[in-house]
Structure 1
């Protein structure tokens, strides 16, 4: 498993981390959606993943990926000193990083930001029309359609709408609203496993570094 899976594009440190962990989590039945590193004094490595079988992503999945990816990164040692590993699902307003994401969510609203301006601007919003390996397409809010080279997209994500919440709930086979009348969390859509780690240190009970 893994040779036919499209992996999102990353650069620099994030690319090294993605290349290191992707084969392992793919062998476990997951797909990498995004790796993001933030912070300087104690960097946070954020791993966003999906289940390959499209089943609901749960906290147990976060924990499984956290343990497996953490073990790989302890060996690869891409970051010196202390760092934190955070694993989550893409959530409802997910980033669009792969061709399958753009095509699966065609008909929903998304925003994107470019690295190099196109027609004098970097930010666009519209209805997703799909994508191939070369370009992603939107029906723009202001009218007309536009294609954007995938290599020039800095980031793109779905916009949280009632239609998207309903569609996501239908795919998962759950009600669109919980008992309190609120939808899933906008950022992750699920629980997140957070594991503080440090070079040469083992994880103690509850994911904390032993003293």
Structure 2
């Protein structure tokens, strides 16, 4: 799909810019909302990013995008923090989230559930183990990473 190609190109452009700025490139998203296209670049660092981090990355990435010109249509560039419910995509993301509350959505049901929310206990690169509550009973589940459609940190509710 063309949108996947755009995000891959933008990731390659944004990664050295983010590293030079001392931040982590978390995710690149390119999607249409209403009549407009949005290119969203999410960055983070320990302690969180501030407006100066976002501005610095945005300006440098905008210049790089002008030169590479990978997007044929007009779009809005947004550089921001991934927020409190940061996505978990890479092994390093899961390792950093050990002991944290996470939300997992699966491609297909596992033990009768298509989603789990609980505390991440372990991740070895092929599977993860988490503890979750089901009707006030604490349970453990081990899920293969290749069965996970989406994962993110979860704010306690």
Same fold by TM-score greater than 0.5: yes
| Equivalent residues in 2 for 1:1-211, closer than 5 Å | 11-39=4-32, 41-51=35-45, 54-142=46-134, 143-161=138-156
Q: How many residues of Structure 1 are paired with residues of Structure 2 in the alignment?
A: 150
Q: State the TM-score, normalized to the length of structure 2.
A: 0.80
SS in 1 for 2:36: coil
- In structure 2, relative to structure 1, the CA distance for the partners of 1:87 and 1:129 (3 Å cut) is same
Consecutive aligned runs of 4 or more in structure 1 exceeding 4 Å deviation: none
Distance 1:144 1:35 in 2: 34
Offset at residue 67 of structure 1 (A): 0.9
Distance 2:48 2:120 in 1: 23
- In structure 2, relative to structure 1, the CA distance for the partners of 1:116 and 1:72 (3 Å cut) is farther
Q: State the TM-score, normalized to the length of structure 1.
A: 0.62
Specify which structure has the bigger relative contact order, considering alpha-carbon pairs within 8 angstroms and separated by 6 or more residues.
1
SS in 2 for 1:82: coil
SS in 2 for 1:39: strand
Please give the per-residue CA displacement for 1:60-93, whole angstroms capped at 9, x wherever unaligned. Answer: 0000111112222222323212101111112222
- In structure 2, relative to structure 1, the CA distance for the partners of 1:14 and 1:132 (3 Å cut) is farther
- In structure 2, relative to structure 1, the CA distance for the partners of 1:114 and 1:13 (3 Å cut) is farther
Give unpaired runs (5+ residues) of structure 1.
1-10, 163-211
Distance 1:150 1:18 in 2: 22
- In structure 2, relative to structure 1, the CA distance for the partners of 1:148 and 1:69 (3 Å cut) is farther
Give unpaired runs (5+ residues) of structure 2.
none
Distance 1:103 1:137 in 2: 12
